[in-house]
Amino acid sequence: MNAASKPLTIGEHIGIWIKAARAPFLVTSAIPAILGGIIAFAHGSFDWTIFLLAFFGIIAAHSAADFIDDYFDYKNGNFANKDQQFHDSPLVRGIITAEQVMVAFWICMVLALASGIYILLSVGMPVLILTLLGAFVVFFYTSPPIRLNFRGLGETSIFLAFGPMVVFGVYFVLTQSFNWSPILASIPIGIFVMNVGIVSNIFDHDDDVKNGKITLPVKLGRATAVKFLTTVTLFAYLFLIAGVITGTLPVWSLLALITAPMSYKMVSLTRNYKDLSLYQPAMSQAIGVATLGGLSLVIGYALSIVFN
C-alpha cells in the first residue's frame, strides 16, 4: 500500500476536522462567553453546570455557523480568499466533501440546541428567546432564503451574536436578571469581532460582487468601508474609556487599550486592500485584537473581583 492510499489515523482525522471547524476562530465566541460568566460571578451568581453547558453550546453553535457558511460558499463557488484565511482548508483542498460539512453542521446544531433546551428547562422561558435568536443567526447567516450575509446584515449579525447576545446571554442564564454591565461590556468586544468580518469582506469585495453577496464593503465601497472600520474601532476604545469614567466598567478594563497599536496596524494594512498579500497579515491583526481585547476585559473583571 503506497502513501497515497494509506488510511488516515484517528489523530489525522481529528486534525482535519479541527481545521474544517476553523478552530482558531472559536476564541471569538469562547472569550465573550467567559466574559459573561465572570461578570455574573462578580455579581455573586454563578453555577458551573449552567456555565459549562452555555459555553459549549455557544462553541457548538459557532462551529455550526462556520460549517454552514463554508457549505453554501462552496456550493456557490464563493470561496474568495478563504484558502489563505484558514491556512489549508480541508474543504478547499478536497480532503472532505460539502456533504460531510453539512453533516458536521447538523451535529453541532443538535448539540447547541440540546444545551439550550437543558438550560431552558433549568432557568425558564426567557432562555427560549435567546436560543431562538441564536439559532436564527446561525442557520440563516448564509443559508437561503434569508441569507443575512447576502443582504448587508452580516456584519451587524456578527456584532450582535458575538457581543451582546453571547455576553448578556451567558450572564442572564447564570443570574436570571437584567443588568446593563454585561451589555455595555459586550459592545467593545462585539466591535472587535465584527472587525474580523469587515476586514475579510473588504479583501473579498470583488468575489462577493461577482456572487451577488451584499456585504458592508459592497454596499459602501471599499474606501468607505475602511473609514467605517476606522470609526467603529475608535468608538470601541472611546466607549471603553467612557465606561470606566462613568463607573460602568471596572478601571482594569482599560487593559484592553494595549490592543490599540494592533488595531492601528489592522486598519493600515486593510487600507491597502488591493494588495491581496496583505490579507493574512490584516486578518491576523484583526483576530489578535478580538482575542487579546476580549481576554483583557476578562482579566480586567477578574482583577476587579480580586481587588474589590
pLDDT band, very low/low/confident/very high, at 3 (cuts 50, 70, 90): very low
pLDDT band, very low/low/confident/very high, at 78 (cuts 50, 70, 90): low
What one-character DSSP code corresponds to residue 252? G
What cell does 79 get?
470561496
Query: 67, 89 in Cβ contact below 8 A?
Result: no
Greater pLDDT, 120 or 127: 120
> Taking residues 247-267, what's their average pLDDT?
94
CATH class in words for 15-306:
mainly alpha
pLDDT at position 131 over 90 = no
Q: Please tell me whether residue 247 adopts helix, strand or coil conformation.
A: coil
Report the range of poorest mean pLDDT among 19-28, 76-85, 178-187, 294-303. Answer: 76-85
Cross-strand bridge partners of residue 108: none
Greater pLDDT, 14 or 193: 193
pLDDT tens, 186-206? 999 999 999 999 999 999 888
pLDDT at position 129 over 50 = yes
Percent of the chain with pLDDT over 90: 50
What one-character DSSP code corresponds to residue 177? S
- Count the residues in the chain: 308
Q: What CA–CA distances, in Å, run from 184 to 130, 149, 234, 258?
A: 18, 25, 16, 19
pLDDT band, very low/low/confident/very high, at 278 (cuts 50, 70, 90): very high
pLDDT band, very low/low/confident/very high, at 2 (cuts 50, 70, 90): very low
Per-domain boundaries in the chain: 15-306
Greater pLDDT, 154 or 82: 154
Of the candidates 89, 127, 135, which has an alpha carbon nearest to the alpha carbon of residue 111?
Answer: 135
Predicted TM-score (pTM) of the model is 0.87
Query: 66, 59 in Cβ contact below 8 A?
Result: no
pLDDT at position 250 over 70 = yes
Of the candidates 133, 68, 126, 141, which has an alpha carbon nearest to the alpha carbon of residue 100?
Answer: 68
Q: What is the C-alpha to C-alpha distance for residues 226 and 203, in angstroms, rounded to an integer?
A: 11
What cell does 33 get?
462567553
Of the candidates 246, 291, 241, 250, which has an alpha carbon nearest to the alpha carbon of residue 42?
Answer: 250
Q: Please tell me whether residue 151 adopts helix, strand or coil conformation.
A: strand
> Taking residues 89-100, what's their average pLDDT?
80
Amino acid 85: pLDDT: 53
DSSP 75-122: HTT--TTHHHHTTS-HHHHTSS-HHHHHHHHHHHHHHHHHHHHHHHHH
Amino acid 1: pLDDT: 37
pLDDT at position 304 over 80 = yes
